[in-house]
Structure 1
Amino acid sequence: MKAKMFFGRVLTALFGGGIAIILFVLFVDKEEKIITVKEPNAIQLTSLPQNVTGQVDLTLAAESSVKSVVHVKTLYTNEEYQSNPFYDFLFGNSKRDYKPQPSLGSGSGVIISDDGYIVTNNHVVRGSNLINVVLQDKRSYEAKLVGQDPYTDLALIKIEEEDLPAMSFGNSDELKLGEWVLAVGNPFNLTSTVTAGIISAKARNIGIMREGSMSIESFLQTDAAVNPGNSGGALVDTKGKLVGINTAIESRTGSYSGYSFAIPVTIVQKVITDLKEFGKVQRAVIGVVIQTVDARLAENNGLEKIEGVFINGITEDGAAEEVGMKKGDVILEINNTEVNSNAELQEQVSKYRPGDEIEVLIKRDGKKKQFDVVLRNRLGNTEVIKSSDLAFLGAEFEPISAKEKYRLQINRGVKVKNLRSGKLKEENIREGFIIYKINNTPIYKIKDIEEALQSVRDGGVFISGIYPNGSVKYYAFSLKGDE
């Protein structure tokens, strides 16, 4: 009986223990799972590549833009003979044995149409006897000069070819400070070179245009590396669209040292359109003398705020005077675009032609007032000026023959013909007069006359020449120039 009870208790204990073990495994002994969340490390070592998420990809812009940027090579011949009277006395006139020495130049250009129009800097091609263009695929062409504008340092050339990779125009007005841009060109004859930087400033005037009162400086400033040979090349945005033409660098050594400057594409488009259509830029003026408002000017003239562009003078019978603008007015806006410097105002006006009407918002005695101004050319009217006959001079011109050069003992010159009403007739210049120098510019061909007159400073023109009878004459007159 006792044994039976013992075994019963043992079985009961074993059964209970088994139940306990099963319950423990099912409900108590569950493995705890630890989930680890790895947080991103906010600290990046400068020697390691960072996460590129959100960064600007410039590769597509670079790949597309290099195809549209060309290498512009120029040939110059120095035809100016410097006589040595002592040498000529001892050995005769050495001028007969003089051989002009050629020199080479180099720059960049941008294809802007598939039929061969290319924009570059005027200083790249100015005075050249031959222009050669080399495409990115190494095809080479001789180019002709369509037109040039020393006031903006732009020139338009053309090659005879079709289906070229033209670059699309962007909008330089929409560029923001800090925005990425690429400079594409041929520095030091290194073809198809691309450098990157950001927009550092806009509407920058650096005082390098010394072509008189009509010069326009409103550069885009960037820190993209630009060197000699980049002139005339492209400044493009992240989409590969043209936003400027690289023109100058700030340097004490002649090479890149931190900042470069480009002509905004809004100015470029206006200039090249005029050069294609007229051969000359149709430059519009309001008819005012302007000055950027700063603290001293505001204090001296009792201005409430340092803003806008101060009118320091009004051109007699000009567009501004006609609508009632006055000296002492402050120009605040041109067509709803704020202007706070001479450069900004010049950039806005440079987009228009004589005869265009613009809205000018001014402040006078603390009150704002708007004028609708019809822009004029520098001669005071709204007519188109073409380069083919230099209309405002009132004459046409033709090269002189080698026989005339020999007879008059001159090595250059352009003859006046078909004289009519204009500047030359007003100064009593007669038909047949041979112009061989304007100010300090030697005149070899008709294009030299236009370039010399466009380069006039302060409006003063001094013409040196000779009549067919050998009579040497000098004439002086003034060109009117205003904003």
Structure 2
Amino acid sequence: MESPSIESNTLLALSNNLADAVERAGRAVVAVNARHRIPSTGVHWRNGIIVTAEHTVRRDEEIAVRLPDERTVAATLIGRDSSTDLAVLRIPDVQLPTAEIGDSGTLQVGNLVLAVARPGESGLSASWGVVSAKGIGVTQRDWCGKQTEGLLKLDLSLYPGFSGSPLVDAKGSVVGINTVGPRNMVLAIPVATVNRVIDTLLEKGKIARGYLGLGMQPVLLPDNLKNALNLSSNGGVIVVNIESDGPADRAGVFIGDVLISLDGRAIADTGDVQAMLGSESVGKTLNAQVIRGGALLTVPIAIGER
């Protein structure tokens, strides 16, 4: 009888290690019933605190969480943050293990990772793949716009019910929360962002986001205009919509204005604008430099709260 090859032993060890990682992480993985049909997945992040994907929480009340031992408990919505796609729930003390939180900063492109979910009645499900990119910024261009930075891009499948599941490394540690981005891109929200959102929602119940009340599109400036105004960049965003009585409207911004800097920072696209509208910007007045009628103007805008 031939002895197993080194390659076979290596594959078997890898297979067993991944299965152990799923089992280890799965102790803190729950199903969240906050929408019709298929539940989403959540993670028992801290004692009594469940984290899941915000877009799967379709109601604020009558939320149920199914535990690994098949018990179902009522959950209370502490708060939600659509910009990071995170929702935080509270459950009663049920002696459920909390997740073993790892460091997403140690992940490298190409590292093996797992999505561990509890989407239905059959227990745990898993999907595996690799980290395909780090530090991804995603801008969703809607009326107000929103942006999330520092995401992990994943090459793995998120099946129905997997949104809100933990991203798990090969050791079984939770290193993020999985979600689906624009164009069905599979993304993970890193641990540092999850902890920041939890802390803020526990303290304040909401996360303030600044907004201008503008609809904007990127635009390239012609060279003759750039040279005439002595600009260092040929990019900006043109105002295509203005919310009535919004911050920009009250400041006197017009449709057709081209925003080229905000608070002294160059603006090349809508993501640059959204990056400056964090919670710390609410209530502050930022100087917007705009091109109007071929001339440069400075328009002070008091940032509102979305």
**What is the letter of the counterpart of residue 160 of structure 1?**
P
Does residue 68 (structure 1) correspond to residue 28 (structure 2)? The answer is yes
1:136-151 to 2 correspondences below 5 Å: 136-151=68-83
Equivalent position of 1:265 in the other structure: 191
**8 A contact 1:106–1:229 mirrored in 2:** yes
**What is the letter of the counterpart of residue 19 of structure 2?**
T
Equivalent position of 1:107 in the other structure: 40
Equivalent position of 1:152 in the other structure: 84
Equivalent position of 1:480 in the other structure: 303
Unaligned runs of 5+ in 1: 1-40, 76-102, 253-258, 286-290, 304-310, 315-320, 331-340, 355-375, 382-477
1:260-299 to 2 correspondences below 5 Å: 260-281=186-207
Out of 274, 281, 285, which is 1:377 matched to?
281
Q: 1:269-295: CA deviations, max 9, x gaps?
A: 10011111111125589xxxxx99xxx
**8 A contact 1:167–1:241 mirrored in 2:** yes
The Cα of 1:151 is off from its aligned counterpart by 1.5
**8 A contact 1:202–1:220 mirrored in 2:** yes
> RMSD over aligned Cα, in angstroms?
4.1
Q: 1:9-63: CA deviations, max 9, x gaps?
A: xxxxxxxxxxxxxxxxxxxxxxxxxxxxxxxx9xx9xxx8364499583233211
Quote the Cα distance in structure 1 between the aligned partners of 2:260 and 2:9: 54
Q: 1:93-148: CA deviations, max 9, x gaps?
A: xxxxxxxxxx545201000123x110011111133541110011111101111111
**8 A contact 1:221–1:262 mirrored in 2:** yes
Quote the Cα distance in structure 2 between the aligned partners of 1:163 and 1:71: 16
**8 A contact 1:187–1:230 mirrored in 2:** yes
**What is the letter of the counterpart of residue 66 of structure 2?**
V
Quote the Cα distance in structure 2 between the aligned partners of 1:155 and 1:120: 5
**What is the letter of the counterpart of residue 192 of structure 2?**
T
Equivalent position of 2:251 in the other structure: none
Whose strand fraction is larger, Structure 1's or Structure 2's? 2
Equivalent position of 1:219 in the other structure: 151
Equivalent position of 2:167 in the other structure: 235
Quote the Cα distance in structure 2 between the aligned partners of 1:232 and 1:327: 35
Quote the Cα distance in structure 1 between the aligned partners of 2:161 and 2:88: 17
Give the secondary structure class of the aligned counterpart of 1:123.
Answer: helix
Quote the Cα distance in structure 2 between the aligned partners of 1:126 and 1:279: 17
TM-score by length of 2: 0.66
Q: 1:204-234: CA deviations, max 9, x gaps?
A: 3454574724442543111222112111111
Identical aligned pairs, as a percentage?
31
1:33-432 to 2 correspondences below 5 Å: 49=8, 51-52=10-11, 57-74=17-34, 103-104=36-37, 106-114=39-47, 116-187=48-119, 190-208=122-140, 210=142, 212-248=144-180, 260-281=186-207, 312-314=260-262, 321=263, 326-328=264-266, 346=275, 376-380=280-284
Instruction: Pick closer, same or farther for the CA change 1:71–1:50 going to 2, 3 Å.
Output: same
Q: 1:274-320: CA deviations, max 9, x gaps?
A: 111111125589xxxxx99xxx99xx8658xxxxxxx9412xxxxxx
Quote the Cα distance in structure 1 between the aligned partners of 2:40 and 2:29: 11
**8 A contact 2:100–2:173 mirrored in 1:** yes
Quote the Cα distance in structure 2 between the aligned partners of 1:209 and 1:107: 25
Which of 1 and 2 has higher RCO (CA within 8 Å, sep 6+)?
2
Give the secondary structure class of the aligned counterpart of 1:275.
Answer: helix
**8 A contact 2:208–2:282 mirrored in 1:** no
Give the secondary structure class of the aligned counterpart of 2:46.
Answer: coil
Quote the Cα distance in structure 2 between the aligned partners of 1:211 and 1:179: 37
Equivalent position of 1:445 in the other structure: none
The Cα of 1:203 is off from its aligned counterpart by 2.6
Instruction: Pick closer, same or farther for the CA change 1:148–1:168 going to 2, 3 Å.
Output: same
**What is the letter of the counterpart of residue 136 of structure 2?**
R
Quote the Cα distance in structure 2 between the aligned partners of 1:327 and 1:158: 40
**8 A contact 1:73–1:107 mirrored in 2:** yes
Quote the Cα distance in structure 1 between the aligned partners of 2:34 and 2:12: 45
**8 A contact 1:226–1:249 mirrored in 2:** no
